[in-house]
Amino acid sequence: METVRVQDIATLSNLKGSIPDDYIRLENEQPETTTIKGVVLKVPVIDLSDPDHQFVLASVSEASKDWGIFQVVNHGIPNELISKLQKVGKEFFELPQDEKEVLAKPIGYEGVEGYGSKLQKEVEGKKGWVDHLFHRVWPPSLINYKFWPKNPPSYRKINEEYTQSIVPVANKLFGLLSEGLGLEEVELKQGLGGEELVYLMKINYYPPCPCPELALGVVPHTDMSAITILVPNEVQGLQVFKNDHWYDVAYIPNALIIHIGDQLEILSNGKYKSVYHRTTVNKEKTRMSWPMFLEPPPEIEVGPVQRLISEENPPKFKTKKYKDYVYCKLNKLPQ
Ligand code: OGA
Ligand code: NI
């Protein structure tokens, strides 16, 4: 079976300023009618090198409660490493189509890893203007190198280096997020499987779109992860839902964008908010992004931390295995 990729559609010469119907969103979803224009939202920006621990702690905790999203700067990951990560990812997506198809998700396969064009079952059968690649990068026992690009040859080494450098950033964030709830520094990460925590890399590739005002990249969603650590390229596209409207999130070179995902909302019993977000696409430019999803292993049970529960604060979420959470969410079943 031939699967048509968005990247193929975008290069068709007969598009002539239009896009296939499947990609035209319903009016109540279109960026044209739903985005607050001219306002670029400054989500909180946090300097992780700030020696004032209490200030960093308060900033992370407030941002996670009010927004569910923030950006971090001076995070310790060298800018050159981020550039290299972007370069090798871009080189993969610029390979001839048949070379990318080698990594395609097999038909009928239920896993998340591989090259593909669509993840969720979407509203009214509409599609997002985006292709993607997923592969796990940590822990070693869960890595399937068959889903990692062989080309460019440095892809593997750079992704391994990037993963190594993300680990201390992730640990620092989990420590702050834990303290922000009045828990011990290690408690949240422990609740997510500790050293078994799974790191899943995704690359989004949003080709130029003749009608960006009518289409969406990734449709509105919250991430299932505990947190997501995202590197974008310089093309505007990420939007968050705030006060009933969609806003563009400011691009800050070399910052990492942190999303609070569903599992942290659950563990914190709703204190931290899983951010509702989506992406738009650009008429001339290719947008790319590299979200790294930090998730509990499939068999770990996630529920509100016991210490945050009391008579006045009953659990707002069920406790269940992460794999069951994922199954329900992907199949749009009640949690
Ligand atoms: C995602 C996502 C945002 C982006 O892939 O889950 O939200 O900026 N991506 O591409
Ligand atoms: Ni997302």
pLDDT, tens digit (0-9, with 9 covering 90-100), for 252-287: 999 999 999 999 999 999 999 999 999 999 999 999
Residue 292 alpha carbon to ligand 2 centre in Å: 10
Q: Is 202 a catalytic residue?
A: yes
Q: Average pLDDT in the 162-188 region?
A: 98
Higher pLDDT: 15 or 208? It is 208
What is the spatial distance between Cα 281 and Cα 287, in angstroms, rounded to a whole number?
7
Per-residue confidence (pLDDT) for residue 208, from 0 to 100: 96
What does the alpha-carbon distance between residue 104 and residue 179 come to, in Å, rounded to a whole number?
A: 41
CA 110 to chain centre: 19
Secondary structure letter of residue 329 according to DSSP: H
DSSP 11: H
* pLDDT at site 124: 64
Residue 2 has pLDDT above 60, yes or no: no
In a domain, 1, yes or no: no
Ligand 1 pocket mutation pick from 69, 204, 281 by most atoms within 8 angstroms of CB: 204
- In the reported structure, the alpha carbon of residue 11 is separated from the centroid of ligand 1 by a whole-number distance in angstroms of 22
Q: Is 295 in the pocket of ligand 1 (CB under 6 A)?
A: no
What pLDDT is stored for residue 37 in this prediction?
Answer: 83
- pLDDT top residue among 172 and 242: 172
Is residue 81 in a domain?
yes
User: Domain with 71 in it: what CATH number?
Assistant: 2.60.120.330
CA angle at 209 for the pair 112 and 155, rounded to the nearest 5°: 45
Question: Catalytic site residue 245?
Answer: no
Nearest ligand to residue 204 Cα: 1
Q: How many structural domains compose the chain?
A: 1
pTM of the full predicted structure? 0.96
Q: Which residues of 94-121 are buried (b: 16+ CB within 10 A; e: fewer)?
A: eeeeeebeebbbeeeeeebbbbbbebee
Q: Domain residues for 260?
A: 6-330
> Which pLDDT score, from 0 to 100, does residue 13 have?
67
Is residue 304 in contact with ligand 1, taking CB distance under 6 Å?
no
Residue 1: predicted pLDDT: 42
- Does residue 192 register a pLDDT over 60? yes
Predicted confidence band at 119 (pLDDT cuts at 50, 70, 90)?
A: low
**Residue 221 annotated as catalytic:** yes
What's the average model confidence in pLDDT over 19-31? 90
Q: How confident is the model at residue 251 (pLDDT cuts 50, 70, 90)?
A: very high
139, burial (CB in 10 Å: exposed 0-12, middle 13-18, buried 19+): middle
Classify residue 306: in a domain, yes or no: yes
Can you give the pLDDT at residue 122?
A: 55
Q: Can you give the pLDDT at residue 100?
A: 96
Q: What percent of the chain has pLDDT over 90?
A: 83
Residue 335 domain flag: no
Nearest CA to ligand 1 atom 10: 289
Mean pLDDT of the chain: 94
105-124 average pLDDT score: 76
Is 85 part of any domain? yes
Q: Which of 118, 131, 206, 218 to mutate to test the pocket of ligand 1 (most atoms within 8 A of CB)?
A: 218
